[in-house]
Chain A
Amino acid sequence: MKETISCKEVMRYICECLAKDTSSERCLALKDHLDNCEDCREYFKSVKLTIDCYQKYNVELPENVHKKLMDFLKLDD
């Protein structure tokens, strides 16, 4: 029988289904649910956006910090 899931379960299983394994029965059921539930679609989108924000927030290694690292480790650049 085809698996169905509730809105609350959608929130729990997003964890697994944002990963690459989208062919599992549960992920297919989640996708099915999202196709028919606007609230959950918005929730899913907001979780993905949250991750996206953090992925794009990076800091660059300054040259002086690199040099200090090489000195600390007694390595020649």
Chain B
Amino acid sequence: MKEEKREKPGNENSLAASNVPSDEEKLIELAKKGDKKALTQLVKNYEQTIYNFSFKICRDRDKAENIMQETFYSMIKHLNQFDSKSKLSTWLYRIVANHCLMQVRKEKHRQFVSIDNDETLFEEKYTADYSRLPTKYTENEELKKILDDAISKLSPDYRMIFLLRDIEGLSTEETAEASELSISAVKSRLHRARAFLRNEITRAFAK
């Protein structure tokens, strides 16, 4: 059976970029008091982004679905602890990031490329013809496979930072808060992750 599609996702739907309703604080307060309608609305506001983000970490729809369920379960369970000092979105990113990392760490057989001290990341000067990218390139299955393969080699700790900062559009400070890392650690992981992915994709296109 063909799956019905919900609203179109995209970077514009990321938590950082989403058009959060001005009454979000009211919704949170009502939800904390047990108002199910308010709670439902909060879940609906963020479900697409949480699902998409989980998929991007795990590269698997079933796992993304489970992580999304666990994330909202945690949100509901701990909502009273949310003090509004940070954005609800940043708080949710921290929850989903933890669930994603727990999921990936369960898969002990997985091997990732170590880039902790890889100076060669910044030595490579591969040249590839990026103009070969099809116009609607993310609809191209071959390119999707290249993107999947490249990011799957990257350790989830690095993948997380790349996705939070570059793809979801969080600031460096918000990324540090969501990942519970220092700002300098975020910057260091980000530039290594970018260099690694860029090198992998360039290599694939050079073939």
Contacts and interface: CB of A to CB of B under 8 A. Distances in A.
Given A14-B191, A50-B201, A72-B73, A62 B143 contact: no
A6 B136 CA distance: 35
Contact of A63 (B6, B36, B65): B6
Interface string B49-68: 00110011000010011001
A63 B162 CA distance: 28
7 contacts: A15-B194, A50-B194, A57-B144, A60-B7, A65-B68, A66-B47, A73-B43
Interface of A: 8, 11-12, 14-16, 18-19, 39, 42-43, 45-47, 49-51, 53-66, 68-70, 72-73, 75-77
Interface of B: 3-11, 13, 36, 39-40, 43, 47-48, 51-52, 55-56, 61, 64-65, 68-69, 72-73, 76, 122-123, 125, 127-128, 130, 133, 137-138, 143-144, 147, 151, 162-163, 166-167, 172, 187, 190-191, 194-195, 197-198, 201-202
Given A18-B166, A59-B9, A65-B65, 16 more contacts: A15-B187, A15-B190, A15-B191, A49-B133, A51-B166, A51-B167, A53-B147, A54-B197, A55-B11, A55-B166, A56-B137, A58-B138, A60-B5, A62-B4, A69-B68, A75-B36
